[in-house]
Structures are given as structure tokens and as C-alpha cells.
Chains A and B, each alone.
Chain A
Amino acid sequence: MVTNTLRRRAAATALALFCAGFLSTCDFLTSDIFPSWFSYVEARYDLRTEAMKLSSSFSVFDDYSVEYLQPLTGRGVVAIFLPGSPEKRLLLLDSTSLKWIATPPDNSEYSPLLAVPANGGEIVCGKVSIKTSDFSAVSGPTTGLTGNRQWIVRTGPSSDQYLIGFDNPTNKLHRYKYNSDWIFVGPIGPPPGTSGTTWSAPFPVVSWSLLDAETSSSGSGAYFLFRNTTATEIGYLSFFSVSSDIEADPRDFLNAADQVTGPFRVDDGRAWITYDGPVAYHRGDKGPDRLVRYKLGSGSASASVPATELDSIPLDNDELRVLSFDPSGTWWFAYDRRTGYLYKLRTWWR
């Protein structure tokens, strides 16, 4: 009798242990000891090793500027800006296989501005415009460059384009207008450029910064991804169907926008624009960190009605640093700080 009781208790204990272990895993069906993002990998590049070949000073970075750039004509590239001192290098990889294709000569005018200009067959890195056919350098933007992260918004093929920057202390979004040949044609107001920016209710009026800016999928509109830190860290995505609408000085980039998405949670200032909805990084309090995509146009100005979450994936590896998203929503790029590899990954909704 005592033996039977012990047996029953032992079996119950084993069952309880099993259930506890089983239920303690939230996504137990897809949980794996290997990083879940690895199933999205399309290609990778040994960035740390290659960067060290250029200069040992590049090896200390883990926050490289990486952009998927598809010029209006010609081959696409993945551009990597290596912000060494004094060396500043640009690595160009094949956009499909991430194989090295070119390392344009060192140029002190390189900056974290990596963009596709209005001229076909070119990409821009800082003040340098590079032809993707032979990777020769030609003149790029000359006015408004800060050396910090900046963006380009186009109005159409071979049409005017805007160099976009943001001044955090004054909460102003700078717009420097160029024609397609990088001839500075703006600003409408006095130099250094159109910068009048207003913020008004129902949105917060202070503590703004710009996380990303992209030309829309039509090629003539513009997206701006703002971060606000008045209370908690939240993001808003504004959309102008006509890029030139941002010339107005001053301009309210939320109330005057054709569409606003947000607010949505943003952690560590990490969010990106895709045409399928903005993607934001969520730091996990108890579970893993996540990348969350939001529905375009969802939410309201009120923080109590946030944007709608469409989907998300866990980032179950602290060593992985998400660098950028291809605005078309096809690819994203991340750097594994442990191994030094740059990964090109498929998005989880396409």
C-alpha cells in the first residue's frame, strides 16, 4: 500500500515537472535553442573580418550604417559605411548574395547618409555620389550635411530631391532642396534651408527626433518616422503623398500629413520605415526582445489609442543588433556582435 502511494506520488511529481517545463515556454512550438531569426537568413557577410582588413580601428564598431539601396536604374547594392577616424570607408556588397563588389576609395566626405538619389544608377554616401556601374565618385550634396545620420526624399525620377536632417535641440526638421544633379536650389527661406517645423496638439509639441525618412513606393511621396520622448518612448509615422508638400515653411509634419500611423512603442530609438508598416524594436521585460510591425494608418493622436500590431518576431539573441529595413519590406539587416557577421534576412510577413 505504501509502495503504491509512493509510486503514485512519484508519477504525479514527474507529470507536474513535465507540465511546468512545457507550459513555461510561451512559443513552445517554435522555441529553439538556436536563434529563431536564423530561419529568416538569406545571406551573410563576414563584416568584422573584412573591416579589419581595411583598418583595425573598424573592428570596434557594432553599429554600422547599412542600407539596402536600389538605384532608380542599374544594379542594387548593400552599402556599409565604416565610420573610422580618420579613415571613412564605404563597402558595397551585392544586394542579392552579400558578396563584396567594391570598396570605393577612402573619402573624408563620407557620412552616415546612405541613400538613393533622383538620378538613376547612383547612390549617395555623404557628399559623394557614386555610380553603381563603375563605382566612380561624382559630386553629391554640398549644403546641409551635418556628418550625422541624414536621409534623402525624392519627388520623382530625375526630379527635385530633399536632403533631410533633424536638429534635436530645436525640434526642427531641415529640408535642403536639390535638383537631380545635386544643384542646390533651395531653400525657399534663407539658408541653411527650410527648417520651419511646428508641432501642435493633439500631438506632443516637444521632445521629438527623426528616426527614418524614405521616399514612398510611388517615388513621389515621403514617409517620416518620428520619435517622441515626452512621456514614454513612442513613435509616429507620417506620410505625405506629394513630397514637395514638406517645403511649406513652417510645416506641421503630423497634423498636415496625409496619413499618420501611431503612436506605437519604440525602445532604444530603434524603428524603421517599410511600405508594409513601420517596424519597432521592443525590449522584452520578462520575455525576449521583439520586432513588431504596425498597421499603416492605425492609431490616433491619443496615446490611449495606439497603432495596431500586425505581427512580430522574437529577437532571442542579445548579440544581434538590427541595423536597417529595406523600405520595400523585403529585407532587413542585422549584425551579430558575437561572430562579426552581417546578416541579410527575409521579413516575416512576405
Chain B
Amino acid sequence: MKPSRPPTLASMLLFSAAFLSIAEVGAQETPANTELQPLVAVVPVWTTQDAEPFAAPLASALLRELAAAGFKTEARSGAQNDTESDSALAAALSSGAKARWAAVARCEMDGRRLVWRASVYDALDGALIASDSQGAFPGLSALPLLERSAASVAREAWGQRGRVIPGEPLEYRLRFRSRNEGATVAFGTGEGGREAGIIEGGELLAPFTAFRAGEPVVVTVRQEGYWPRTSLFRPGTEDKVLELPRLMPRASRMVSLGISTTRLLGAQAEYRHFLSDDAVFLRAADSLWLQYTFTPGSVPVLHNEVHLGAGAYLFLPRDSRFRMAVTTGFSGIVTLAFPGDLADKVYFDATFDAFSLSLEWHTPGTWMFFLEQRYPYSLGLDSGLLSRGWVQNDGPPMILTAGVMRRW
């Protein structure tokens, strides 16, 4: 909200004169919603001549504060009017100006006391969305109070600028369909949620609830062994079955099978034990592969890597389809060479995975998919074949592993 500047009396009086020189407000039909412009038409109204000098300053303050709040504004001519209600005036004003909102700055005398009311109406449905009413001694001391009223109304109206027309009350009971048999469905979330029933035979007919068409309906589904899931529906006037998304199972264990770019003649199997469901885990993996160059002189060399480490999922909720895990750990790689004349047939290398990133696509079903990038650093043991440093291959210094996972 931009800070408003205190108006001068001269400017207020000048603005009042401008209002008074404009034609009188007339009653017109409310235009279709699609024709409404996103602006506020402001009109001053007074019931007696004594109140007239204050109606224009109130309207002027409203214009200024509404503009400062972010509205586009348009000044309309005022008039003495002690018969029509503010809502009727607002409807006529919106219709004439094709303005989404209409602000009425009304002043009247209650004995020797000045009473005013600043109101903003939404032409979508004629609702009063902001209003402030006060009284004061009719003098210059009332002007700051008029400013405060205008500022208050402008703030309130800005907060309601995104409102939509409330829908028609639903005359049917919501029906849900779900593949989570036995899951509990509730309207709302947390403790304040109201139970709607249990999925039986894949469906649930919820008890009648007074929802309005187009309004958001928050539905929470819970089931033992699965992560609860909250969904948002906007049911229409037509009775349609609402499809509840499948719940994501909670996992405390996981196994995977994959194949790596630098180990295509082999496979990797991994087991994860979650210390916290779907969040923090320990891992043990084994990769077995043959090294072979498909040329006449090449003899396969067998490698087996045992990897132990820990990891955690980051950033995304635990029931997300797409998940990212970072891991770290150590590996020992045993190499077995077969040539008969080679005296040393067994070699041992050790590597350290400072950082590994696993991109995973989780599904509510049995199988999931993952893609892992590893950046092993070889310790360069004398017993091994790898030099000290980041392990190298023809491509970037990383190992890409892709495969499927299963969890329970």
C-alpha cells in the first residue's frame, strides 16, 4: 500500500466544484459482467445542503486512496439524493460507467452533527465489499476523519478485488472415485476437517454439504501406509464424479535395479533402509560388470563394487512424484582379471562419493524410475588400478545410472 498524502483544503474544494459541475447521477441497467472495466467509479452524494461541502472532499479522498491502493479510478458527478439507497446508486453508477466497482461518498446532517459513509460495491453481484461510517462536528476538524475513512475503505476494497460471484448452492451429494480402497475422505484439512466417508468399491457418496458451485472444496484423503493427500475441487452445478488422485505409499525400504553408462555390461542392485520414511536413508549397493572392448585381443575383466552410504531427499514433499535425493558414501571395487600368465589376478580400489544426485520419478504403483549421477573420487590405493583423483572415462567424470525402483 502506497502512503497517502494529506490533501489540502483548496484541492478538496476545487475537486468538489468539479463534481458539482457534472450532471446528476441517473439510474441505468447493470451491464453484463464481461463489459465491466476494472475501475472504480466514485460519486459524492448528500442529503441536505448543509452536508454538501463535505461530500466532495470525501469523494476526493476516496479517489485518491483508491488510486494509491492500485485501482484505476473515475470521478462521477454528485447530487443531492435522500431517496435512493447507496446500493441502488452504486448499481446505476456501475451501469453508466461500465465500472466493476462503484464507490459512494454519502454525507448527511444528523441534527448538528455530520454523518458520512464511504462504501464500495462490486458490480458483479452488487455486494458491498468495503464500507466505513463515522460522524463528527461539521467543520474543518472533520476533514482528517474523512481521509481516514477513505483510506480504510480503499484498503478493504483492494483486499476484495479478486472476489468472484458465489456460485449456486449445490443440490446434489458429492461423489468421489478412488483407487485407494478403504481410504478415509474428509472435507477440509487437519483437525478441522469433517469426515465425508470411506472409499468402498472404489467410490464414495459424501453426505450432503452446502457447497456452492464453483467454490473450492478441499478434500483430504488418508489411508494407513500412504501419505495423506489434500486436493482441491470446484464442483459445478452438474453432478459429476470427482476423481481422487492415488495416494503415494509411505516407504521404509526400497530396492532398485539399474544400469550405468560406464558399466553397460553389468547391473547394479541397491537396498535402501529409511531412517525416516521417504526422507533419510542408508544405502547399500552392489555393481557387477564386465569390462570388454569388443576387439580381438580383449579379454573380459570382472569388476564388483560394493557401495555403502547415506542420503536424504531434498526440497520436495515426501509424496511428490518427482524427487531429488543427495547421497554420499564409500565404495570398494574388486577387480578380477583372467589371463593365465598374469600373476596378480585380484585388485582392490576404493572410491569416495563426495556427492551423488538421484533424480527419481515416484509413482503410486509398484515401480518407479531413477537416474543417478555419481562423482567418485579414487583414493589411488597401491592394490588397485585407479589413479588418485576423480575417476575418468571417455566422457565427463561421472557415472550415470538409470533404472527402476520398488519400495514398501
Contact = CB atoms under 8 A, between A and B. Distances in A.
Contacts of B341: 42-43, 96-98, 344
B108 to A, nearest CB: 49
A25 B398 CA distance: 10
B157 interface: no
Interface core residue of B297, B373, B385, B395 (most chain A CB under 10 Å) = B297
B296 A33 contact: no
A25 B395 contact: yes
A61 interface: no
A14 B359 contact: yes
A30 B292 contact: yes
A33 to B, nearest CB: 4
Interface stretch (A64-72, A202-210, A226-234, A310-318): A310-318
A35 interface: yes
Contacts of A27: 394
Contacts of A40: 293, 297-299
B299 A31 contact: no
A298 B329 CA distance: 52
B25 interface: no
A300 interface: no
Contacts of B223: none
Contacts, number: 134
A326 to B, nearest CB: 12
Interface in B378-408: 380, 382, 385-387, 391-396, 398-400, 402
Contact of B297 (A24, A317, A350): A350
B306 to A, nearest CB: 15
B242 to A, nearest CB: 16
Instruction: Give the interface size class of chain B.
Output: 35 or more
B344 A21 contact: no
A44 B393 contact: no
Interface string A1-40: 0000011001100100110011011111111111110111
B386 A42 contact: no
Interface in A320-350: 338-339, 344-350
Given A22-B261, A39-B299, A348-B296, A31 B322 contact: no
B170 to A, nearest CB: 22
B387 A317 contact: yes
B358 to A, nearest CB: 10
Nearest to B385: A34
A17 B298 contact: no
A248 to B, nearest CB: 39
B393 A316 contact: yes
Contacts of A313: 293, 295
Contact of B391 (A21, A33, A99): A33
A31 B395 contact: yes
The interface residues of chain A, by DSSP majority, are classed as loop
A34 B297 CA distance: 17
Contact of B296 (A34, A36, A349): A349
A74 interface: no
A34 B335 contact: yes
Nearest to A311: B295
A33 B342 contact: no
Contact of A17 (B344, B371, B385): B371
Interface of A: 6-7, 10-11, 14, 17-18, 21-22, 24-36, 38-44, 96-99, 287-288, 311, 313-314, 316-317, 319, 338-339, 344-350
28 contacts: A10-B322, A11-B322, A21-B373, A21-B398, A30-B293, A31-B395, A32-B262, A33-B386, A33-B393, A34-B385, A34-B386, A35-B385, A36-B293, A38-B385, A40-B297, A41-B342, A42-B341, A44-B344, A97-B341, A99-B343, A313-B293, A313-B295, A314-B394, A319-B387, A338-B380, A338-B387, A347-B297, A349-B296
Interface of B: 261-264, 291-301, 303, 321-322, 335, 337, 339, 341-344, 359, 361, 371, 373, 376, 380, 382, 385-387, 391-396, 398-400, 402
Given A25-B261, A35-B385, A319-B387, 8 more contacts: A21-B261, A21-B398, A31-B395, A33-B262, A38-B291, A97-B341, A317-B392, A348-B295
